[in-house]
């Protein structure tokens, strides 16, 4: 493997991990000798420095992690706060309501009720920390199921989902039969 490929492999593993990776795990994943990793990481950091990159690789004990540079913390904070504090769209509120009142539910359930693909809406709710994965349904395909989080409760001033206001409007049970008795 060329140096260029080795650098790319290390970079890809650290980027994809998002958390510290032990040196031995990194050497296994990249199929390299553990002793070769530190000089290659120094080389990557030199490249990041040379081009003024916003990222770097930090060493924590015997682990390495790809991180953003501290000097960009204010911009990162602003971007993340803006994204999290943006108001929910009508579609997001609709999906969140379906999940809150019926949890845990699958994406398919939400889509069936809404009548439209809800993947991006659910991903947005997960990003905002309002919804989380709650396991898988025990049916073929084992789809993920979702539930609300403590962030959801705090955001809506609730201490439990049992405090959700009752749903208004007709339910299936309220609709009279058209059959004559």
pLDDT score for 61 = 81
In the chain, the N- to C-terminal Cα span, in Å, equals: 80
Q: Which CATH number fits domain 3-71: 1.10.10.10, 3.40.50.970, 3.50.50.60, 3.10.50.30?
A: 1.10.10.10
Check: CB of residue 152 under 8 Å from CB of residue 99: no
In this predicted model, what pLDDT tens digit does every residue of 82-129 receive, in sequence order?
Answer: 555 668 899 999 999 999 999 999 999 999 999 999 999 999 999 999
Element (H, E) at 124: helix 119-127
The CA distance from 23 to 8, in Å, is 16
pLDDT score for 180 = 39
Q: Where in the chain is CATH 1.10.10.10?
A: 3-71, 87-174
Please report, for residues 40, 103, 177, the alpha-carbon distance to residue 159 in angstroms, rounded to integers and kept in the order given.
Answer: 50, 16, 38
pLDDT at 21 over 80: yes
Domain 87-174, CATH 3.40.1190.20 — does that match?
A: no
The CA distance from 143 to 154, in Å, is 28
């Amino acid at each position: 493997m060329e140096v260029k490929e080795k650098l790319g492999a290390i970079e890809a593993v650290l980027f994809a991990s998002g958390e510290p990776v032990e040196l031995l795990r990194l050497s296994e994943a990249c199929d390299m000798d553990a002793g070769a990793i530190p000089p290659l990481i120094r080389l990557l950091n030199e490249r990041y420095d040379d081009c003024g990159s916003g990222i770097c690789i930090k060493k924590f004990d015997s682990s390495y992690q790809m991180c953003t540079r501290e000097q960009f913390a204010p911009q990162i904070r602003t971007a993340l706060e803006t994204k999290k504090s943006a108001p929910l769209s009508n579609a997001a509120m609709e999906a969140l309501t379906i999940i809150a009142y019926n949890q845990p539910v699958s994406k398919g359930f939400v889509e069936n009720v809404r009548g439209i693909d809800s993947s991006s809406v659910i991903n947005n709710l997960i990003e905002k920390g309002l919804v989380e994965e709650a396991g898988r349904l025990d049916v073929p395909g084992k789809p993920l199921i979702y539930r609300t989080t403590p962030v959801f409760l705090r955001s809506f001033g609730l201490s439990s989902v049992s405090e959700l206001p009752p749903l208004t409007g007709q339910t299936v049970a309220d609709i009279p039969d058209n059959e004559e008795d």
